[in-house]
Chains A and B, each alone.
Chain A
């Protein structure tokens, strides 16, 4: 792999940038792999990368039905934070946060991780009590956080309407300075390039249509374009389609797939240098480096696989943003889209062994999977390499819905991600 560097950029400029090597190969799949990862999004590619880098398992294939990073990795609002209430979730997301902090250097690929801070606003007395509780819990877990009052919020975001006579006055916020945003596509491409450099085969345009299971153990997957590909272990990282994959393997998951929408405005001059989220009016907004406002909110209530959403949800989202930022009321929206998120009843992911031996699932990230991409890949790689759950992944077994050990992040963080 050619390393990217300032010198390399200069060198290639002498040949008009016409001789850059391809970022990854386009291989024909082998008959058999040690590990097959189904799903070539951020999480799947990160899993492949850490399998090769940290566990020395390089005979790995990532099978993707479309193109790399073309699902929710390309559709999210790129927020990265780790201020979760419960210990299990906080440890997992903080593990991801620590990996984010060195990710560009590690991958030799600029993922444009910008720690511009995230504000979670409080609009009622109860909001503020919850914020205090969450920030206290975060600090006990070694995660940075502060409780701000109205004045503190106004100093960070001078353009937001924090006046007391609003319908939903801003009473304060939690503030995580280490949180921020990252360039979503670059994350997928960086992990893909990194995995490929260790010899991982990235197989695109190849859909898994069935699982090959013998005596209760998985031995391979059946694909639409390359027949049966065998594997010792299979990891499914298929987000919204996880329920469909589980059905192929003959079991059910406690997941429901919903459309989650986002929208971006026309590019405007720099106005917002942080991320503002509000669970109460239910919207979140940041400004990308290109200048467009990136806006998102809640899921559509009904189940759906259509990768588009309904207009009432968009209207609700935009109402919330205009409530906070009346100054944005005449900004025109450029594009709107939907992704399919797999939501769990407790708003926490599933990183787990399954009733089928050697088959593992990493799913259920719901509306907040992007922030966990490196951490998710890291613990899932360890799980696949050893055949048993990584200590951080242990509480996220799918069997928690049988034994009752749920991690209820719904009230704490499950709304706006």
Chain B
């Protein structure tokens, strides 16, 4: 069971209260109309799937119902940091 710190509630809560919403920091193309099929397909479907450090969005679905970012190791499942939407991660993968 993951213990996740919600930066809005400022408390650690159990994993069951949260839903993971996938990769963080995906920028929507500024001008979707001018995207090629490849660019649009990659925006929609291609996700980072690292073995190691991963930045993802979590949703405190049965708590404050707010979104935030988590940096997590996908092998050990250790949560490295929690930060709000709009902020940048301090812990990043090497190389």
A256-B47 in contact (CB<8A): yes
Q: Which residues of A contact B38 (CB under 8 A)?
A: 402
B56-A303 in contact (CB<8A): yes
A306-B37 in contact (CB<8A): no
Return the CB mask of A281-301 against B: 1 if under 8 Å, else 0. Answer: 000000000000000000001
Q: Which residues of B contact A345 (CB under 8 A)?
A: 44-45
Q: Which residues of B contact A403 (CB under 8 A)?
A: 37, 41
Contacts known (A301-B19, A310-B2, A310-B15); A254 close to B45, Cβ less than 8 A: yes
A402-B16 in contact (CB<8A): no
Q: Which residues of A contact B2 (CB under 8 A)?
A: 310
Q: What's the minimum C-beta distance from B37 to chain A, rounded to whole angstroms?
A: 5
Considering only CB atoms, which chain A residue lies closest to B75 in the complex? A305
CA distance A215 to B47 in the complex (A): 27
Contacts known (A301-B20, A303-B54); A401 close to B46, Cβ less than 8 A: yes
Q: What's the minimum C-beta distance from B71 to chain A, rounded to whole angstroms?
A: 12
A310-B1 in contact (CB<8A): yes
Considering only CB atoms, which chain B residue lies closest to A346 in the complex? B45
- Does B60 count as interface, using CB distance less than 8 angstroms? no
B51-A306 in contact (CB<8A): no
Considering only CB atoms, which chain B residue lies closest to A241 in the complex? B51
Q: Which residues of A contact B54 (CB under 8 A)?
A: 303
Q: Which residues of A contact B48 (CB under 8 A)?
A: 252
B41-A402 in contact (CB<8A): yes
Return the CB mask of A236-275 against B: 1 if under 8 Å, else 0. Answer: 0000010110000000111111000000000000000000
A404-B75 in contact (CB<8A): no
CA distance A68 to B46 in the complex (A): 30
- Does A304 count as interface, using CB distance less than 8 angstroms? yes
- Does A302 count as interface, using CB distance less than 8 angstroms? yes
CA distance A252 to B75 in the complex (A): 19
Q: What's the minimum C-beta distance from A204 to chain B, rounded to whole angstroms?
A: 21
Considering only CB atoms, which chain A residue lies closest to B38 in the complex? A402
Q: What's the minimum C-beta distance from B32 to chain A, rounded to whole angstroms?
A: 14
Q: How many residues of B contact A (CB 8 A)?
A: 26
A304-B77 in contact (CB<8A): yes
A302-B20 in contact (CB<8A): yes
Q: Which residues of B contact A404 (CB under 8 A)?
A: 37, 41
Q: What's the minimum C-beta distance from A38 to chain B, rounded to whole angstroms?
A: 16
A306-B77 in contact (CB<8A): yes
Return the CB mask of B29-58 against A: 1 if under 8 Å, else 0. Answer: 000000001100110111111110010100
B75-A306 in contact (CB<8A): yes
CA distance A311 to B3 in the complex (A): 12
B47-A401 in contact (CB<8A): no
Q: What's the minimum C-beta distance from B82 to chain A, rounded to whole angstroms?
A: 14
- Does B90 count as interface, using CB distance less than 8 angstroms? no
Q: Which of B19, B42, B44, B49 has the most CB of A within 10 A?
A: B49
Give the contacting residue for A312; candidates B15, B22, B37, B50; CB below 8 A. B15
A303-B1 in contact (CB<8A): no
- Does B88 count as interface, using CB distance less than 8 angstroms? no
A302-B47 in contact (CB<8A): no
CA distance A312 to B19 in the complex (A): 12
Q: What's the minimum C-beta distance from A347 to chain B, rounded to whole angstroms?
A: 12
Q: Which residues of A contact B77 (CB under 8 A)?
A: 302, 304, 306
Give the contacting residue for A303; candidates B45, B74, B76; CB below 8 A. B74
Give the contacting residue for B51; candidates A252, A256, A301, A305; CB below 8 A. A305
Contacting B at CB under 8 A, from A26-44, are none
Return the CB mask of B62-74 against A: 1 if under 8 Å, else 0. Answer: 0000000000101
CA distance A254 to B48 in the complex (A): 8
A302-B41 in contact (CB<8A): no
Considering only CB atoms, which chain B residue lies closest to A251 in the complex? B46
Considering only CB atoms, which chain A residue lies closest to B37 in the complex? A402
Considering only CB atoms, which chain A residue lies closest to B39 in the complex? A402
Q: Which residues of B contact A305 (CB under 8 A)?
A: 51, 74-75
Give the contacting residue for B41; candidates A301, A303, A401; CB below 8 A. A401
Q: Which residues of A contact B72 (CB under 8 A)?
A: 302
Q: List 25 A-B contacts (CB under 8 A).
A: A241-B51, A244-B51, A253-B49, A256-B22, A256-B47, A257-B49, A257-B74, A302-B20, A302-B56, A302-B74, A303-B49, A303-B56, A303-B74, A304-B74, A304-B77, A305-B51, A311-B1, A312-B15, A345-B45, A401-B41, A401-B42, A401-B45, A402-B37, A402-B41, A404-B37
Q: Which 7 A-B pairs have the closest CB atoms?
A: A243-B49, A402-B41, A254-B45, A302-B20, A401-B45, A301-B20, A312-B16
